Amino acid sequence: MEAVPALAGAAPLLVEFPFEPVYVESIVAVSLYVSVLAVLLSTFVSVPVALAVGFTDFPGKRLVTSLINTGMGFPSVVVGLAVLFLVSNQGPLGSLNLVFTREAMIASQFVLATPAITGISLAAVTSVDRNVRDAAYSLGGTRLDVALVTVKEARYGIATAVLAGFGRAISEVGSVLIVGGNIAGPDGVSRTRTMTTAIQLEARQGRYGTAMALGAVLLAIVLLVNAVVVRLGDGGTLR
């Protein structure tokens, strides 16, 4: 029952939003930097893999497809632990000193976003009418030409995949908390603190105004991404 008076006393904070702009801006900047870069790197890997799996018949193709789909549900904390082991002093990448850095956070978000982008892109690529590829081949196109034609036909599905990957990355908590450490400097500027990890910390410490401000920004970003995904899914236009 003590939680009720506590929340009632926090009501003025929720209305006035008393927060430090520099602190909030640095957290938003770190979140966008990490998520955007992770999704860009993932896209450069995921789309070629989706094309290769979609175009090629090979032993174990069904297994590879199942692994991709399974990866879409990876527990984020497990991914965080795996990346932390890789970059720790005892891990194979320990010499790079990546523990509690943005680079480690990018790596964890890359691992989380890649299966989602690959899986949705693969579905988009395989849904392209085979006659389109056959026509490209009959006109003398190379494998690269056929791949480019397929990407053009599946561009809205691939765009949806990228946006879905970004949505998962920007809203991630567990893995970035483990590998990033949720660090902010004494100057109030975020080092590895993201919107999700900061919301958790600020709410736990009773600074509801800052938590709500960060929550509003995160919600606006996620809603914008979802709106774009819905538009693309409805007809492939942003009108």
Q: What is the pTM of this model?
A: 0.84
| Nearest by Cα to 118 from 79, 64, 171 | 64
| Nearest by Cα to 150 from 53, 217, 26, 82 | 53
- 173 belongs to a structural domain: yes
Q: What CATH number is given to the structural domain containing 126?
A: 1.10.3720.10
Q: Read off the pLDDT of residues 190-235 as tens digits, 9 standing for 90 and up.
A: 999 999 999 999 989 888 888 888 999 999 998 888 788 777 666 5
Range of the domain at 70: 21-231
- 13 belongs to a structural domain: no
Burial label for 200, CB within 10 Å (0-12, 13-18, 19+), is middle
Q: Read off the pLDDT of residues 83-107 as tens digits, 9 standing for 90 and up.
A: 999 999 888 998 999 999 999 999 9
- 176 belongs to a structural domain: yes
Q: Read off the pLDDT of residues 9-32 as tens digits, 9 standing for 90 and up.
A: 444 544 445 567 888 899 999 999
Cα(230)–Cα(239) distance, integer angstroms: 12
User: Phi and psi dihedrals of 189, rounded to 5?
Assistant: -100, 135
Cβ atoms of 17 and 212 closer than 8 Å:
yes
- 76 belongs to a structural domain: yes
- 68 belongs to a structural domain: yes
- 239 belongs to a structural domain: no
- 36 belongs to a structural domain: yes
| Residue 234, pLDDT score | 63
Least confident of 48-62, 86-100, 177-191, 223-237: 223-237
> What total of structural domains would you count in the chain?
1
Cβ atoms of 102 and 190 closer than 8 Å:
no
Cα(32)–Cα(30) distance, integer angstroms: 6
- 237 belongs to a structural domain: no
